[in-house]
């Protein structure tokens, strides 16, 4: 009789060990994935924090600017030699000459032509405009001598705000004069209301963002009025009423492709169609708004269709069961329930339009605009274009203006996204 060897079964044990190793490997992979995701979020937040800190540190200085106190003699022989108090004659007077006279009186050691030229640069070349406005507002000050705070030149302002010992564009004598003014309390930093209440200027110390803010507001208003109704109605038709055939499929593909077209292409379309064919005014908010509306339409249509698809079919079936027509089902039930998604997508599209620069450059909104626009056909610029113009300027004073304008633009975008969240919560319904 042959003995049968006793063999221990190992197949089950080996399979159990293999499954255990696989489970541990998957757990390690999952922990690595979580770590990579967490590290990516931390890295992104760190980069954002560095960007915002850098912009804030540089842009917050634009909130204040240096002002110099001078004893201005409103000389009647200069302002109104005939004594007629005619506004046209008073507005043409040499007010900057009054500023120069006050500077020479304050620093009599500036005798040479070169020294006088350097001395005059301590005060803004547009300071005379402030004196002119004061005289036109109150002609009774003619003949009096008053202490007036005037805006300092941009080189003086940059020198006083920097932390390094570099004198920048100032000469040694100018630095000495600035130190003398500081010692006597005749120069100080004051709130820069000019930055928020005036338009653009060639002089950094006089430049403001009000013109760009108004231009952005008017442009976005035209964009919203032109794109929102058309985009929503087009999406409702394609999703609820259009037959599902090759034509509708081609339209859907083209809409998706338009959402990926570079924005500068829409600028070329606006240049060729709106300006050259229809003859609309260049650099006007109405043209910029229509161009941005063409660019925003695909985003609104796609977002609206996604919101309509999210409405449960049971809502439609219940409305049909109660005898509602297709039009009533769509506009009484489906569209109101999808309104949070529609508004969110539309505001995101408007936020994208607010940050666009390339299409607006092609229709002339890069022009130097001093006046504040008051209508849709006035020459205007927008905040992104204004930032582009300032960033390309060689004067150092525009650096802080650029950073401050970026902060204003970010605040504008933040408010728009916050509005999208609020509207979504307001119109959201439980079903």
Pick the CATH number of 210-427 from 1.10.579.10, 1.10.3720.10, 1.10.10.10, 1.10.565.10: 1.10.3720.10
| pLDDT at residue 232 is higher than 90 | yes
For residue 155, give Cα distances in angstroms to 130, 373, 397: 19, 30, 7
Residue in 155, 153, 258, 209 with CA at minimum distance from that of residue 409: 209
How far out from the chain centre does Cα 13 lie? 66
- The pLDDT value recorded for residue 5 is 52
85: alpha, beta or left? (left if phi > 0; alpha if psi -120 to 50):
left
C-alpha span between 308 and 87 (Å, rounded): 63
Q: What would the two tokens of residue 277 be?
A: 């064919």
The rounded Cα 403 to chain-centroid distance in angstroms is: 11
Quote the mean pLDDT of the chain.
87
Q: Following CA atoms 98, 103, 105, 109 in sequence, which dihedral angle do they give, to the nearest 10 degrees?
A: -140
Ranges assigned E (strand) in 26-106 = 64-73
Does the structure show a pLDDT above 60 at 143? yes
Q: Give the least confident one: 16-20, 21-25, 32-36, 269-273.
A: 16-20
Residue 218: is its pLDDT beyond 90?
Answer: yes
Q: Which of 234, 379, 241, 339 is nearest to 294 (CA)?
A: 234
Instruction: Give the integer Cα–Cα distance in Å for 407 and 198.
Output: 17
Rounded mean pLDDT, 132-161: 90
**C-beta of residue 199 within 8 angstroms of C-beta of residue 378:** no
Given a contact cutoff of 8 angstroms between Cβ atoms, the answer to whether 88 and 429 are in contact is no
What percent of the chain is predicted at pLDDT more than 70? 94
Buried b / exposed e across 322-333, counting CB within 10 Å, b at 16+? eeeeeeebbeeb
pLDDT score at 12: 60
- How many whole angstroms separate alpha carbon 107 and alpha carbon 103? 6
Tens-place pLDDT, residues 382-407: 999 999 989 888 888 888 899 999 99
154's CB contacts (< 8 A; 6+ apart) are: 124, 203, 204, 205, 395, 396, 397
- Which has the closest alpha carbon to 309: 238, 230, 234, 239? 239
pLDDT digits (tens, 9 = 90+) for 101-116: 999 999 988 888 899 9
The residues, ordered by sequence, that sit 6+ positions from 392 with a Cβ below 8 Å of its Cβ are: none
pLDDT tier at 50 (50, 70, 90 boundaries)?
very high
b/e per residue 221-240 (b: at least 16 CB within 10 A): ebbbebbbeebbebbbebbb
| Domain assignments of the chain as residue spans, ordered by start | 63-191, 210-427
Beta pairing, strands 145-151 & 64-73: antiparallel
* pLDDT value of position 10: 53
pLDDT for position 345:
86
Tracing tokens 């003859």 back to the chain, one arrives at: 279
Query: What is the pLDDT, as a whole number, of residue 55?
Result: 87
Check whether 254 has a pLDDT greater than 80. Answer: yes
pLDDT for res 227: 92
Q: Report yes or no: 310 and 341 within 8 Å, Cβ to Cβ.
A: yes
Q: Is 12 exposed, middle or buried (0-12, 13-18, 19+ CB in 10 A)?
A: exposed
Task: Check whether 42 has a pLDDT greater than 50.
Answer: yes
Q: What is the pLDDT of residue 1?
A: 46
């Amino acid at each position: 009789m042959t003995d049968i060897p006793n063999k221990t079964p190992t197949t089950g044990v080996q399979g159990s060990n293999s499954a255990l190793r696989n489970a541990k490997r998957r757990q390690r992979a999952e922990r690595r994935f979580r770590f990579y995701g967490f590290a990516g979020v931390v890295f992104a937040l760190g980069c954002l924090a560095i960007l915002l800190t850098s912009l804030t540190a540089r842009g917050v200085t634009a909130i204040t600017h240096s002002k110099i106190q001078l004893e201005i003699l409103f000389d009647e022989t200069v302002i109104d030699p005939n004594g007629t108090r005619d506004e046209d004659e008073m507005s043409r007077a040499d007010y900057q000459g009054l500023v120069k006279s006050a500077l020479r009186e304050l620093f009599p050691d500036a005798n040479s032509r070169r020294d006088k030229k350097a001395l005059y640069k301590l005060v803004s070349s547009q300071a005379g405009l402030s004196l002119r406005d004061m005289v036109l507002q109150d002609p009774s000050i003619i003949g009096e001598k008053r202490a007036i705070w005037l805006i300092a030149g941009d080189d003086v302002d940059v020198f006083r705000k920097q932390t390094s010992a570099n004198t920048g564009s100032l000469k040694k004598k100018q630095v000495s004069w600035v130190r003398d003014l500081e010692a006597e309390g005749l120069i100080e930093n004051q709130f820069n209301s000019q930055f928020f209440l005036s338009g653009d200027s060639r002089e950094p110390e006089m430049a403001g963002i009000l013109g760009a803010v108004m231009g952005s507001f008017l442009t976005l208003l035209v964009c919203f009025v032109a794109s929102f109704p058309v985009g929503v109605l087009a999406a409702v038709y394609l999703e609820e009423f259009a037959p599902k055939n090759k034509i509708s499929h081609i339209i859907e593909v083209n809409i998706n492709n338009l959402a990926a077209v570079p924005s500068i292409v829409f600028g070329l379309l606006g240049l060729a169609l709106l300006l050259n064919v229809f003859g609309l005014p260049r650099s006007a908010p109405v043209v910029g708004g229509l161009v941005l509306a063409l660019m925003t339409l695909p985003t609104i249509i796609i977002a609206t269709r996604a919101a309509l698809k999210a409405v449960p079919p049971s809502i439609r079936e219940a409305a049909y069961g109660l005898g509602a027509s297709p039009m009533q089902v769509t506009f009484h039930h489906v569209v109101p329930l999808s309104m949070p998604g529609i508004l969110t997508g539309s505001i995101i599209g408007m936020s994208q339009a607010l940050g666009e620069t390339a299409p607006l450059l092609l229709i002339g909104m890069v022009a130097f605009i001093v006046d504040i626009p008051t209508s849709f056909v006035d020459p205007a610029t927008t905040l992104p274009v204004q930032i582009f113009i300032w960033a390309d300027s060689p004067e150092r004073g525009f650096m802080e203006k650029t950073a401050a304008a970026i902060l204003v633009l970010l605040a504008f975008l933040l408010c728009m996204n916050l509005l999208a969240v609020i509207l979504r919560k307001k119109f959201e319904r439980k079903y």
